[in-house]
Amino acid sequence: MGIVAVEHDRDWLEVRFEDGTSARFLGTWLRDNITTGRHRDAGQRTFDINSLPDVTIAAASLDADTVTVSFAPEGLDGTYDESWFRQHRPAQPTDTGITPLPTLWDAEQQGSLEFADHPTLVGDPARLHDWLVDIRDLGFGLLENLPTTPGLILEVVDLFGYVRETNYGGVFEVRDEPEPANLAFTKLEIGMHTDNPYRDPVPGLQILHCLVNESDGGDNRLVDGFAVAERIRSDHPGAFELLTTYPVRFRYLDGDSADLQAYKPLIQLDTEGRIVCIRYNSRSAQAFAMPADVMADYYRAYRILGELLHDPGARIEFRLDAGQLMAFDNQRVLHGRTAYTTGARHLQGCYADKDSLHSRIRVLEAAR
């Protein structure tokens, strides 16, 4: 798609493309994004907008598919080619942001569960890429044939990013303890939840590595919180409005060492209305504090969310045996587990951030 014509006034440049579409670009924006204004290697902008005068477009000309724009009062020229215009044209309604839209799933996903082979993935960037893309797009990834060495989880995180250390340490242990501080450290069933909703930001990824599993239960459950939230948006728009509008306080208190709190809606949206984070954890949610005339409707909405998150038709269920690992998006995918009565079960867990995961995917794609 080439450029067939350009027109301009003092403030705007209009570019007409061969396919009949056109786009308007603000002169100030063009000057701000001038290609010579970025460091050749790092790509970082070398000036600040406040260092510029009030910019106007003095002239614009087209040569082949390259447009030269002259800016007044600086007398500076900027050149922009067709691919640059296409890449940078102002946001379209179909833009997905910096990552693709999530691939939503329900219980049917159970039929496609696949554990990637850890030794293969460590030695093959293409397989590593595919596994990381699963975590990004589906919100979870499974791995098997790992050594059951304590601390090995750190090597898995090294494949794409960095451990996010918390007051639980870098790596935490999940096993039943005689005097548990958390339901995770018992044999009880645990309902669907996201971890650490009392943090801001809430940890983006959780990784759990199974070292021992001789239990008679303790199967893992995952549910796609984004899929459930989208269902509420379409089937119960009033409930969706309440769940995305009114914040809830979450708190974790540990003696005099921690008093973590966050005050956020259970379903968080970005400025485009896309779902970006689910917080759901009945253990750490504090008394709701919304206005009295909203409370009854809010509870109805809260129950709808809770019921759909626990709907067997929405979730997948699988056992993690020794040497297997799952990584999931803790801002999207809720986890839980079935009860067990006997047998040792020991997992090691840690958190990591999603931006490193996305970065690693892009770097692997660029190296192809």
Footprint on this chain of Fe ion (rule: CB under 5 A): 195
The CB-of-313 to Fe ion minimum distance in angstroms stands at: 22
Q: How far apart are CA 75 and CA 207, in angstroms?
A: 55
The CB-of-195 to Fe ion minimum distance in angstroms stands at: 4
The CB-of-325 to Fe ion minimum distance in angstroms stands at: 15
Residue 144 region by backbone torsions, left for phi larger than 0, else alpha for psi between -120 and 50, else beta:
beta
Q: Under 8 Å CB-to-CB from 326, ≥6 apart: which residues?
A: 140, 141, 142, 143, 207, 208, 220, 222, 320
DSSP-based three-state secondary structure for 202: coil
The CB-of-207 to Fe ion minimum distance in angstroms stands at: 12
The CB-of-192 to Fe ion minimum distance in angstroms stands at: 10
Q: Phi/psi at 272 (nearest 5 deg)?
A: -95, 0
The CB-of-263 to Fe ion minimum distance in angstroms stands at: 21
Can you list the positions of beta strands (E) in 98-245? Answer: 115-117, 140-144, 172-174, 190-193, 205-213, 220-224
The CB-of-125 to Fe ion minimum distance in angstroms stands at: 31
The CB-of-43 to Fe ion minimum distance in angstroms stands at: 39
Would you say 137 or 195 has its CB closer to Fe ion? 195
The CB-nearest residue to Fe ion is 195
Would you say 9 or 200 has its CB closer to Fe ion? 200
Can you list the positions of beta strands (E) in the chain? Answer: 3-8, 12-17, 22-26, 56-63, 66-72, 76-81, 115-117, 140-144, 172-174, 190-193, 205-213, 220-224, 248-254, 258-264, 267-269, 275-278, 315-318, 325-329, 333-337, 345-352
Would you say 128 or 278 has its CB closer to Fe ion? 278
Residue 327 bridge partners (DSSP): 141, 207
Q: What is the full DSSP assignment across 24-72?
A: EEEHHHHHHT-GGGB-TTT--B-S-GGGS---EEEEEEEETTEEEEEEE
Would you say 24 or 175 has its CB closer to Fe ion? 175
Q: Of 349, 356, 323, which Cα lies nearest the Cα of 335?
A: 349
DSSP-based three-state secondary structure for 177: coil
Residue 343 region by backbone torsions, left for phi larger than 0, else alpha for psi between -120 and 50, else beta:
left
The CB-of-117 to Fe ion minimum distance in angstroms stands at: 26
